[in-house]
Every structure is written in C-alpha cells, then in structure tokens.
C-alpha cells in the first residue's frame, strides 16, 4: 500500500485541496442553504470515494493490500449517492450520514497510518487526518439535538472550514511528500 500512496501522491494532495476549497467555500459563504450543503457534501463524498477506489484498484494491480481503501471508497460514494438521491431527508438523517461517513473514513485512515508507520515518513499526518474525522463524527452523534440551523453551521464553517482545512493540509503535505519516494 505504501508504494501505491507514493505513486499516487497527487491523488492524496488533490483530495486535500478539495477539502480545503470546500472548507473555504463554507466559511466564506455561511448563508449556504441546507440543499446546497447537501449537494456540496454529496459531490465531495463521491469524489473522495472515487479517489480511494482508484488507489484500491492500483494497489490490487500491484498485489498490495487494497481492502481498506476499497471500503473507504465505497463508503464515500454511498454517502454521496444517498445525499443526491434523497436531498429532502431531514437534517438528522444528514447528520448521521455525515457522522457515519466521517467516523468510518477516519478510522480507516488511522488504521492505514498505523500500518504505514514503519514504511513512510509523515504517516502521522494521515493519522491526524483520521483523528479529526473521527472526532467530528463522534461530536455529531453525541449532540444530535442541536437542530437544523446548527447542523448547517456545524457542517459549514466548523467542519468544512476548520476540520476540513485541518484535514486538507495534512493530505496535501502528505501527498506531496509522496512525490519524493523517501521510504524509511
């Protein structure tokens, strides 16, 4: 899997750039309606899932471990498609959809960081990325009573600007570090 991440450093960096751009858009335009937020989330989750599946296919072609990447990709695409297909679902359903996606993706990123700790440098960035994602998902699950307006604000400025930008930078730096194949 390390070789796949090194060869596809650009995908990890691009994923981070998308996270940063999405976070900045949510921060700069806090008046985003819930419908637009659902659409943005759906697009982002599908793109994130596609990048993970591409990495899984590449890993499988090189006879490397690919299961976690495939599972992460499927979870992202499923979350995005569900958001596209049923945009009128209540905010609570969106809250749990985003929370579940965030927890699953974060846990898989932490697992990948632990597995790669002796293989690549900067694996802690991937783990940090996963920790941000899991923490955010847990917060959404434990405080569901916040309501629709707060969900828009949580998912908008707090998640997608603060956490997503924090998540995006480790992905960008971790991805660009993969451009130079420095293995431990």
Does residue 181 fall inside a structural domain?
no
Expressed as residue numbers, the domain containing 50 is 2-176
The reported pLDDT for the residue numbered 20 is 77
Does residue 86 fall inside a structural domain?
yes
Q: Residues 114-124: what's their mean pLDDT?
A: 80
Q: Does 62 score more than 90 pLDDT?
A: no
The reported pLDDT for the residue numbered 73 is 94
Supply the pTM of this predicted model: 0.48
User: Cα dist. 147→34, 113, 151 in Å?
Assistant: 12, 34, 6
CATH code, domain carrying 33: 1.25.40
Q: DSSP letters along 106-135, please?
A: HHHHHHHHHHHTTTBTTHHHHHHHHHHHHH
Q: Using CA atoms, how far apart are residues 47 and 117, in angstroms rounded to an integer?
A: 26
- Looking at per-residue pLDDT, the higher value among 42 and 177 belongs to 42
The reported pLDDT for the residue numbered 106 is 92
pLDDT digits 0-9 by tens, 135-184: 888 887 887 765 455 555 555 544 444 444 454 555 555 555 554 444 44
pLDDT digits 0-9 by tens, 68-116: 889 999 999 998 898 888 876 656 777 787 789 889 999 998 998 888 8
Does residue 26 fall inside a structural domain?
yes
Domain count, the chain: 1
Does residue 184 fall inside a structural domain?
no
Q: Does 33 score more than 80 pLDDT?
A: no
Does residue 183 fall inside a structural domain?
no
And the tokens for 62? 């090189």
Q: Does 49 score more than 70 pLDDT?
A: yes
């Amino acid at each position: 899997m390390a070789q796949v991440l090194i060869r596809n450093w650009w995908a990890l960096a691009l994923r981070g750039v998308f996270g940063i751009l999405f976070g900045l858009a949510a921060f700069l335009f806090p008046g985003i309606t819930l419908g637009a937020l659902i659409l943005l989330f759906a697009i982002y989750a599908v793109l994130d899932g596609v990048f993970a599946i591409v990495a899984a296919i590449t890993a499988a072609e090189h006879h490397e471990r690919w299961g976690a990447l495939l599972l992460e990709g499927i979870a992202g695409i499923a979350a995005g498609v569900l958001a596209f297909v049923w945009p009128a679902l209540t905010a609570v359903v969106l809250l749990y959809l985003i929370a579940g996606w965030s927890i699953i993706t974060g846990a898989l990123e932490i697992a990948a960081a632990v597995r790669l700790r002796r293989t690549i440098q900067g694996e802690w960035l991937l783990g940090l990325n996963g920790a941000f994602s899991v923490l955010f998902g847990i917060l959404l699950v434990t405080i569901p009573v916040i309501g629709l307006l707060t969900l828009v604000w949580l998912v908008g400025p707090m998640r997608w600007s603060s956490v997503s930008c924090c998540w995006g930078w480790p992905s960008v730096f971790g991805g660009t570090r993969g451009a130079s194949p420095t293995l431990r």
